[in-house]
């Protein structure tokens, strides 16, 4: 399992942590339940980066911070034509970069197409 795709919820006080902490930042607890980060989230803010370092096979990158219904905030790539703050997004995991023949995986948030 890849730590990067899980939130860590303190077993004592329920505080959510991401990325992983070894001590709860609220109560100092040392035991956590892992929660897969998935499902629908809301776009809080976004930015577009140009001049990307080696390994990104695209001219620019759209990067955003999202919030889940449980309050967890996570950053990742956006695969969205016209990002709007407050829009609902889906969580996917995909290849974000290749470096030294290694594929790096990360969150990619995608548009929810309304029927
Ligand atoms: Zn705690």
At 69-88, the pLDDT tens digits run 999 999 999 999 899 999 99
At 2-15, the pLDDT tens digits run 778 999 999 999 99
Q: 72 with 97, same domain?
A: yes
Q: 71 with 21, same domain?
A: no
Q: 53 with 27, same domain?
A: no
71 C-alpha to center of ligand 1: Å?
15
Q: 57 with 94, same domain?
A: yes
6 C-alpha to center of ligand 1: Å?
17
pTM assigned to the model: 0.86
9 C-alpha to center of ligand 1: Å?
8
16 C-alpha to center of ligand 1: Å?
8
**Cα distance between residue 5 and residue 35, in whole Å:** 9
Angle at 111 between CA 36 and CA 98, to 5 degrees: 65
**Cα distance between residue 48 and residue 76, in whole Å:** 12
Structural domain boundaries enclosing 7: 3-36
Residue 46, Cβ neighbours under 10 Å: how many? 19
- How many domains are there within the chain? 2
**Cα distance between residue 18 and residue 67, in whole Å:** 12
Residue 109, Cβ neighbours under 10 Å: how many? 28
36 C-alpha to center of ligand 1: Å?
18
77 C-alpha to center of ligand 1: Å?
29
């Amino acid at each position: 399992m890849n730590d990067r795709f899980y939130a860590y919820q303190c077993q004592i006080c329920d505080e959510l942590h991401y990325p992983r902490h070894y001590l709860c930042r609220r109560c100092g607890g040392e035991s956590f339940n892992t929660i897969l980060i998935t499902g629908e989230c809301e776009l809080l803010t976004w930015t577009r980066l140009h001049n990307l370092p080696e390994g990104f096979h695209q001219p620019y990158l759209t990067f955003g911070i999202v919030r889940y219904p449980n309050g967890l905030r996570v950053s990742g790539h956006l695969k969205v034509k016209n990002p709007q703050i407050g829009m609902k997004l889906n969580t996917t995991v995909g290849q974000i970069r290749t470096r030294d023949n290694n594929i790096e995986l990360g969150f990619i948030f995608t548009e929810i197409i309304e029927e």
